[in-house]
Each structure stands twice: as C-alpha cells, then as structure tokens.
Amino acid sequence: MNCKNCGALLNPSDKFCQNCGKVVEGPVDQMNTTTNMGATFTNVNADPSMAMPSAGNGPETVQPLQQAQPINQNYSMATNQNPKNNNILIIIMGVVIVILLVIIVVFALNTNKTDTTKKTEEGKTTTQPTTTQVSNTTNYVAGDYTYAIPNEYTVETEGDVIKMYDDEKAIWLEALAGYSLSMLSLDEVKTNLESLGITVLESKKQTYNGVEMMIFGGEYAGDKHLLAYANIDNGILYAEIININGEFDYDALENEVATMAKSAKYKASSNSIATNNVLDKLEKIIKNKKKN
C-alpha cells in the first residue's frame, strides 16, 4: 500500500508514513509486491503477466487488471467461416442429390420396360389391329364382262346390258369384245348415228381420267344424249348418258364412265376376236336401246 499523502510505499505494520510522517489511514492490505527495474508490479492471482507497470518515474502502485475471460473456441471457429462458401456448398449438394434422384427414376423406368418386353417376348402374343376396307362399288356381270358399279346407283342387268339410275341421270352400258377405237373414225360413227335418227351436235376424241374416248353429243326424240365409246380390256365400251336437266354431263364421263371402263374385265372362256363389222355391231346396240 502507498501513502495517500506522498505516495511512498508503506509496510503492513506502519501506522505513520516513514517518508512524510502522516498517519496511515485504514489498514494496510496484505499484498505481495515486487520491484523490478524501478517499476512496481502488483501480483494479481500470483500471475505477474496480469499487471502492467506504472508510467511514472517514482514508485507508483500498478492497478490490477481484470481477469481475462476464457475464449470460446467454438464461437471463434464459427465466426471464421464464410457464409457465402456455406451457401455454395449447400447448393452444390442439392444439385447432386437431384441428379442422383433423376438417374434412379430413369433406371427404374428402363428396368420396368425391359421386364415388360421380356414378358411379352416370352409368353404373350400381341395382336395387330386389322383395317377393314369398305368398298364403295359392287361387281356386276353383263355379257362377257365384269364391271365395278358405284353403290350410289340402282342397277339393272339384261343380257349384255347394264342400266344404272340415280336422281340426276341414267347411264346405259354395253361392251363389244374383240374391238378397239383404232377401228373407228369420227366421221364414220357420226354418219352411222345420223342414219339412226340421232342429230349429232358435237363430236370429238378426248381422254377422261386416263381413258381414251370418242364422244358425240346428240338429240333424239327431243332429249339430249351424250354418247361415248371407250377402250376397255379386249374391247370397246359403249356408254349413253341422259341427264334429267337436258345438258351433256361430261363429269359423268370423267368420273363414272372412265372408272367403270378401267374396271371392266373380259371373262369369256374364248378370246376369239369378232369378225363382224364394228359399225354394224354399234348400230345394233343403239337400235336395241331405242326399242327399250
């Protein structure tokens, strides 16, 4: 302890300061003091490192320092970590987990598909759907030919003749086996038709729907008739069209007559070529038509 008047060091038993003679106020604390190189240290908890020397020239009392608090090592380690690094690490781990889950799901699906395929190959028979084609034509036989006639028509067969009717027109068909259009000319046929009382208004050769035809537009008994001769399998198809509106129906030549000419199949057991004159045959056909 030091004297409060002059600051001199006091002994524990001193009642008066030996330097200035002042009465020592209060008991002297029992403290362990040492002097080192002109500076006085106060021993706090017997640890000299916990005290600091006084800055004065004379002997001064060194104030005790507060006892140091123990360092929390866990807190120190936590505060040294970078939060950004932690976030990046968490994101990377999440991505890796997602990728692993996707791989597992894909593998499971492929395994299931493979097992199903094996089962099908081992014991199951797969049935392929069958497509049923519904025909819009019906085959009719007349004379030596078979024709595919559209189902929209009412059909009558009589010997070598096929008669077809719908709400707009009537079509009359007959085939001559063993002939071809190369045996005829426009002028010869026109003259032949006029001899039968048919007024020929127009005549031409034209191909309809891939079928070569010889066409005549004429009038008979006040009605307009469209007459056509077409090449078919081993013969000539004669077609006569009467339209209820009184006009020449060239669409019927393109669609119905050409289609039936393509479908006509010669089926006679003998393929003998006719020797009679083709014009005589055509005249006979038309005469029979007029009688009906």
> What would the two tokens of residue 187 be?
């002028």
User: Average pLDDT in the 26-37 region?
Assistant: 45
Q: What is 137-268+275-291's CATH topology?
A: Jelly Rolls (2.60.120)
C-alpha span between 193 and 214 (Å, rounded): 13
198-257 tens-digit pLDDT: 999 999 999 999 999 999 999 998 899 999 999 999 999 999 999 988 899 999 999 999
Using CB atoms within 10 Å of the CB of residue 173, give its burial: 0 to 12 exposed, 13 to 18 middle, 19+ buried: buried
Contact at 8 Å (CB) between 210 and 258?
Answer: yes
Q: pLDDT, tens digit, for every residue of 168-194?
A: 999 999 999 988 999 999 999 999 999
Q: How many whole angstroms separate alpha carbon 211 and alpha carbon 185?
A: 17
Q: What share of the chain is helix, strand, coil (3-state, %, to 5)?
A: 30, 30, 40
- β-strand pairing of 145-150 with 154-158: unpaired
DSSP characters for 125-172? ------PPPPPSEEEEEETTEEEEEETTSEEEEETTEEEEE-SSEEEE
Give the separation between CA 203 and CA 188, rounded to whole angstroms: 11
Domain boundaries, the chain: 137-268+275-291
Q: Which of 66, 56, 61 is nearest to 35 (CA)?
A: 61
- Given a contact cutoff of 8 angstroms between Cβ atoms, the answer to whether 258 and 209 are in contact is yes
